[in-house]
Amino acid sequence: MKTERLTKKELAKAVNWIKDGEVVAFPTETVYGLGADATNEEAVQKIFQAKGRPADNPLIIHVASVEQAEQYVTCFPEEAKRVVSNFWPGACTLVLNKKGDIASSVTADLNTIAIRMPDHPVALELIEQAGVPLAAPSANSSGKPSPTTADHVYKDLNGKIRGIIDGGATGVGLESTVLDMTDQKKPTILRPGGVTAEQLETVLGKVYHEKTSDSELLAPKSPGMKYRHYSPDKPVYILPENIEQAEKLIGALEDKKECVGLLVSEDTFESLGSLSSNHFLLGRKGYPEEAANRLYEGLRKLDESDATVILAEAYDKTGIGRAYMNRLEKAAEWLK
């Protein structure tokens, strides 16, 4: 299949493809999504095929309004409404009890459904004009870093999907927060993301965190957490925060004839000197939103470079730093 690249102005073509049951990648404020009509089982199957995604990992449905979301949940509790009125459109996905006409593979036969309203004019226009919610995972090959540009999507999925709408680079750079609100008294973050726990706590009071240690990966609440994720082909290690230790590690790797690729802040790069010829800068130290925005691009760039190992900088696990570290630790934990 030829994968057509569209500009925003050619959105009408993409709308027709969605209506015909085809799969189209589109920009959101977090990462690019791989969309299909969530009410059409055959169309949704094409998403799983194109990505090589395991069938027991459910998809998020993307809506263009709160009213549209209400059609697919048994009840929209007061607490969920508060989240929605503060953070939609935006990078917060709600897990609620499902109802209505949604293809069963979207929810992997669970009783719950994950829903979000993306904060991106192209995504909203596409959903509105298609007239149906779009099931959409991140538009990468399963296991690869999520795409933050149309080029990333093209590299992973050329020939496997009908088209890509190019809306430029995404803003947040990491996926949405997945918040389980099926128990209103215990709102639980299943996956940290663009809307931070601190932000959610301003409207919900205490927010809980689903632990995703290795043992819990066997029976995860959010099925996606058990799979290898966000990983380039090359091994990723987290760089020690102490500069001398970092230099030692780089030296030891180079002694073993490894070629080190650094994924670090500008400040850390300066402290380390030009130790490595392969590097990608994450922005300023202490600005995790800049690192979040560049992490996936950096992993992809270093994967394409001569580097044989990637050393990435740690950030504090507060604010968006929590989501950044979640993805980085997952990229690092699946050593091949």
Residues that bind Mg ion (CB under 5 A): 138
Distance (Å, rounded) from C-alpha 71 to C-alpha 74?
Answer: 8
Of 221-250, binders to ligand TXA (CB under 6 A) are 222-225
Distance (Å, rounded) from C-alpha 216 to C-alpha 205?
Answer: 26
Strands (E), 43-200: 60-62, 92-97, 112-116, 134-135, 163-165, 177-180, 188-191
Q: Would you count residue 28 as binding ligand TXA (CB under 6 A)?
A: yes
Q: Would you count residue 136 as binding ligand TXA (CB under 6 A)?
A: yes
Q: Would you count residue 126 as binding ligand TXA (CB under 6 A)?
A: no
Q: Which two tokens stand for residue 229?
A: 């994720």
Q: Is the dihedral of CA 56, 62, 67, 68 positive or negative?
A: negative
| One residue of 58, 89, 147, 173 binding ligand TXA per CB under 6 A | 58
Identify which of residues 122 and 225 has a Cβ nearer to Mg ion in the complex.
Answer: 225
Asked if 96 and 184 count as a contact pair (C-beta separation under 8 A), the reply is no
Number of residues written out for the chain: 336
Identify which of residues 212 and 278 has a Cβ nearer to Mg ion in the complex.
Answer: 212
**C-beta of 214: minimal distance to ligand TXA in Å?**
17
Identify which of residues 119 and 313 has a Cβ nearer to ligand TXA in the complex.
Answer: 119
Asked if 226 and 207 count as a contact pair (C-beta separation under 8 A), the reply is no
Identify which of residues 110 and 332 has a Cβ nearer to ligand TXA in the complex.
Answer: 110
Q: Which two tokens stand for residue 254?
A: 């180079």
Contact track, ligand TXA, 143-182, x by CB under 6 A? --------------------------------xx-x----
Asked if 112 and 59 count as a contact pair (C-beta separation under 8 A), the reply is no
Nearest to 308 by CA among 282, 336, 268: 336
| One residue of 23, 73, 113, 323 binding ligand TXA per CB under 6 A | 113
Q: Which one of the spans 42-50, 56-64, 208-216, 245-253 is the region binding ligand TXA (CB under 6 A)?
A: 56-64
Distance of CA 2 to the CA centre of its chain: 25
Distance of CA 36 to the CA centre of its chain: 17
Identify which of residues 175 and 313 has a Cβ nearer to ligand TXA in the complex.
Answer: 175
Q: Which one of the spans 29-37, 253-261, 271-279, 280-288 is the region binding ligand TXA (CB under 6 A)?
A: 29-37
Site residues (CB under 6 A) for ligand TXA?
28, 30-31, 33, 57-60, 91, 93, 95, 107, 110, 112-114, 118, 136-138, 175-176, 178, 190-191, 222-225
